[in-house]
Amino acid sequence: MPTLLMITPENSEINKFRAHQLNNFTQLTMPYLAGFVPKEYSIRLLDEYTEPILFEKVDLVAITVNTPNAPHVYAISKRFRELGSWVALGGPHVTLNPEEAACHGDTIFVGEAEETWPEFLKDFLSGSMQKAYTSHHVPSLDGLPIPRRDLIVGHRFTSGAVFASRGCPHNCSYCSLKKIYHNEFRTRPVDEVIKDIGSMPNKYFVFWDDNFFADPVYTKALLKELARLNKRWAAQVTVYSCEDEELLSLAKSAGCLYLFLGLESFSEQGLRDANKNFNRVEEYGKVVNKLHRYGISIQAGIVFGFDSDTLEVFETTLEACNNIGVDGVTASILTPFPGTSIYEQYKKEGRLLDVDWDHYNGKTSVAYVPKGMSCKELLNGYNEFRGKFHSWRSIVKRISKSRVNIFYNLAMNYGYKRAYRNFTKLDVGERSDESLGQRMAQHLRNWPR
């Protein structure tokens, strides 16, 4: 019986941050692909976030590759190949850079793997493996297997994950989904998604979808069924989709705890740079208030480094986030990933600094030459924003305004605050904040029940 090790690799810099968050969800790719593996294999899943790789010889090693961890994956592959293992590489980075990836693995997968992965597993049993397996058309999402969550090892995951759809109808300048998913948005059958969710032991889970509200008719049908399961969940949606009151009401009834909203920028020009003209800055506050009325928290996505951004963007964004009362923020440095329009633009303009993929993580490095500031100013401004946003002063102001899911939001913000301080070893704006923590406790005691 051939042995199969399926690895979810880490990005060491991101894990320094992730390890101190209070809410971490399972990475879905490998448990999902494990559902396709036939009984002829002895299979093991390994997530580097929870356990180290021991580098013992196995017959087959499969690794999913994202751009920021590509160099790390290539090093892992090299060690296993030296041991005599056959190494298969797939994932977004392989799909967008197949020639590069082919130099570092025995087999690569280009595109979605619902059809090519089972084909390869059959070929491996007969010893007739190909160098590359390419998906030439859009595979159906009907009849997919339940992810092998029983194989997940580790106690550091607090939430499960599931996906109901794949792709996104939009074409943001920093996003490569259109290239990865053949420019197609698709949904899974509602009954199969509900069965998948029902199989999870987790009370809390996240939808892995890139745009959960993209098809409102489908989502409403799904939410009506989901309401019966008594789960709590989160998802990523667009700002304008939250104008649908029926959708929000159904989401709340179905257990929605928070939504991730890609605000990206509080500048109209910044939104044009992002090719996200469907966002309207003047609507942000209204949408936040509406979600809070339904008891739903907001995690806002913010990106720094658009061509129209200047040094003032960090302070104005901080003030705007606090004023409209978003409950949390996931901030990133604009990163020109392969397959995106900004990658091609910056390459043409000679603004890409290098192709050291370690620098393409959106957190610790700047991979291109910004227009409105230097690389150092962008990185420092980004870190200063995160420090100030997760100061007790900012947390008190936002939670006092929101008053939604108070203890969850407090725990979430504390987790980000702790992660930030460990991640950067900076202490931005924190000197007098411990007394603010005491004031927050007083606020909570005084709020009407």
Are 108 and 182 in a shared domain? no
Q: What are the Cα distances from residue 54, in Å, to 43, 46, 80, 148?
A: 16, 10, 10, 22
Residue 153 pLDDT grade (very low, low, confident, very high; cuts 50, 70, 90): confident
Average pLDDT over residues 14-25: 58
Q: What is the pLDDT of residue 423?
A: 59
Are 43 and 184 in a shared domain? no
User: Is 139 a member of any domain?
Assistant: no
Are 220 and 324 in a shared domain? yes
Among 74, 99, 134, give the residue marking a domain's end: 134
User: Is 415 a member of any domain?
Assistant: no
Question: The domain that contains 236 carries what CATH number?
Answer: 3.80.30.20
Are 276 and 174 in a shared domain? yes
Residues contacting residue 215 through CB under 8 Å, at least 6 positions apart? 165, 185, 187
314 phi and psi, to 5 degrees? -70, -45
User: What is the value of pTM for the model shown?
Assistant: 0.89
Are 317 and 248 in a shared domain? yes
Q: What is the pLDDT of residue 379?
A: 96
Whether residue 158 has pLDDT greater than 60: no
User: Is 53 a member of any domain?
Assistant: yes
- Would you give the end-to-end CA distance of the chain in angstroms? 61
Are 8 and 93 in a shared domain? yes
User: Is 418 a member of any domain?
Assistant: no
Question: The domain that contains 63 carries what CATH number?
Answer: 3.40.50.280
Among 134, 169, 197, give the residue marking a domain's end: 134
The pLDDT mean for the chain works out to 89
User: Is 50 a member of any domain?
Assistant: yes
Are 89 and 216 in a shared domain? no
DSSP for 394-405, written as a single string: HHHHHHHHH-SS
Are 114 and 208 in a shared domain? no
Are 177 and 128 in a shared domain? no
Domain count, the chain: 2
Average pLDDT over residues 399-410: 77
Give all strands (DSSP E) within 250-382, no chain letters.
256-264, 297-304, 328-333
User: Is 152 a member of any domain?
Assistant: no
Q: How far apart are CA 269 and CA 306, in angstroms?
A: 9
Q: What is the pLDDT of residue 448?
A: 39
User: Is 404 a member of any domain?
Assistant: no
Q: Residue by residue, what is the 3-state secondary structure of 345-386?
A: HHHHCCCECCCCHHHCCCCCCCCECCCCCCHHHHHHHHHHHH
Whether residue 350 has pLDDT greater than 60: yes
Least confidently predicted of 6-10, 316-320, 416-420: 416-420
pLDDT digits (tens, 9 = 90+) for 338-348: 999 999 999 99
Domain that residue 308 falls in? 159-399+428-446
Are 164 and 127 in a shared domain? no
Residues contacting residue 25 through CB under 8 Å, at least 6 positions apart? 157, 158, 159, 160, 161, 205, 206
Q: How far apart are CA 393 and CA 437, in angstroms?
A: 8
Q: What is the pLDDT of residue 442?
A: 46
Are 100 and 168 in a shared domain? no
Q: Single out the residue of 92, 86, 132, 136 nearest to residue 108, CA to CA.
A: 132
Whether residue 127 has pLDDT greater than 90: yes
Q: What are the Cα distances from residue 444, in Å, to 2, 22, 289?
A: 57, 20, 20
Q: What is the pLDDT of residue 440?
A: 41
User: Is 140 a member of any domain?
Assistant: no
Q: Which residue would you say has higher pLDDT here, 134 or 416?
A: 134
Whether residue 226 has pLDDT greater than 90: yes
CB burial class (10 A; 0-12, 13-18, 19+) of residue 350?
A: exposed
Say what percent of the chain tops pLDDT 70. 89
pLDDT digits (tens, 9 = 90+) for 239-282: 999 999 999 999 999 999 999 999 999 999 999 999 999 999 99
